[in-house]
Structure 1
């Protein structure tokens, strides 16, 4: 391999490492919402030039995990509590529609994939690692979305799941600390059973309840830990 190829490979590896490290730290809240991400400081931390740092930040901006301010400084994307009711409303609709479609259209191969993803989530819960848990949770729900065979709805759903990963970490933390509820595994299994039975209405009902549990626990966490006057209206019952 030529020297230029070695250098290119090293640079690519460096960019990937910066991106993955910062992404993990943002998702686990090790980098707090609103925290300044200074290119010079990060370059010193990772012992590399500012160019790969900048590229990693651009990629994180595409993931909506960082925000570039008018003064061109970059911060970790805030968790917008004021817009949470609208977020969870959209999540509820996307979750219900994708789960309904999966129940109607799933194949045996889809069921095997969803069941495998559920086992992976259970294994992640056993580790107590919130990042592994949130990643496994997303893969479980995306397996359901892919079984619904509507790439537009699946893409919208994936974007919402990505946006909600940090909130899901707070959800996990709340459940583990208060023991008020359970870590989604029972609900996942019930959703899988409804999809396997092709029971569209039950799948819809369970998907809605799943979103509502996330909403209720996130609201409880926020009221316990932060002062907020945001009106957090409970989701309506599934129709």
Structure 2
């Protein structure tokens, strides 16, 4: 194997490592929205050159997790609370459509995959680690989307779930303070039952209620923490 191949592999590995490390810190809110990301400091921290860090930041910008500004600086993407009603509207539609299709078209293999993801989410909840919980939550819903057999709808749904992971972490924090346990585990189990029974109306209603629960708890969190500085209106689209 040539030295050039080794160098290329090292660069690729470095960029992947930097991407995953920065992404996890953004999603878990360890890096706060709006925080400055200095390439030199990150390169020193990871023990690599600036090139793989830059490559990682470009990839994160493509996922709307960082913003690359005109002055060549990069910041963690803000959480745009003003667009939350529109986000929830889109999430509600995507969640309901994918869950309806899963109830109609699921196979026995699909049911096993959804049930496996549900167990993984329950295990993640027991760890109390929000990053693991949000990833397991996403995988559960994507198993439902896969059962719906529509790659266009599932692709749209996946992007929405990715964009909402930081808000979901705030949602988890709110539930920790206001509920005994996580209602999501019960809701997921009910959705699986409806899909197993091919009960399309119930699957649709549960998916809709699932979005409303997330919406209401997120708004509750924001009003509890930021109402003095940020006006919030309850979105009407997901009623």
- State the TM bucket, normalised to the shorter chain: over 0.9
Output aligned runs, 1:34-49, within 5 Å. Answer: 34-49=34-49
1:123 aligns with 2:123: yes
2:15·2:56 contact (CA, 8 Å) conserved in 1?
yes
Matched, 1:201 2:194: no
Q: Compute the TM-score of the two structures, normalised by the length of structure 2.
A: 0.95
- Any residues of structure 2 matched to 1:76-225 within 5 Å, and which? 76-179=76-179, 182-225=182-225
Q: Secondary structure at the match of 1:79?
A: coil
Q: TM-score, normalised by structure 1?
A: 0.95
Note the residue ranges of structure 2 that are not aligned, 5 or more in a row: none
User: Structure 2 matches for 1:45-84, cutoff 5 A?
Assistant: 45-84=45-84
Question: 2:219, 2:232 within 8 Å by CA — same for their partners in 1?
Answer: no
Q: In structure 1, how many angstroms separate the alpha carbons of the residues matched to 2:180 and 2:66? A: 32
**Structure 2 Cα separation of the partners of residues 171 and 36 of structure 1:** 24
Pairwise CA RMSD of aligned residues?
1.3
Shift of 1:235: 4.4
Q: How far apart are residue 178 of structure 1 and its match?
A: 2.2
What are the equivalent positions in structure 2 for 1:14-25 lying under 5 Å apart?
A: 14-25=14-25
Whole-Å separation in 2 of the counterparts to 1:72 and 1:199: 53
Counterpart Cα distance in 1 of 2:183 and 2:25: 22
8 A contact 1:94–1:156 mirrored in 2: yes
- After superposition, the Cα gap between the structure-2 partners of 1:66 and 1:166, relative to the gap in structure 1 and judged at 3 Å, is same
Deviation at 1:81, TM superposition (A): 0.4
Q: Is the 8 A contact 1:25 1:31 kept in 2?
A: yes
Aligned to 1:232: 234
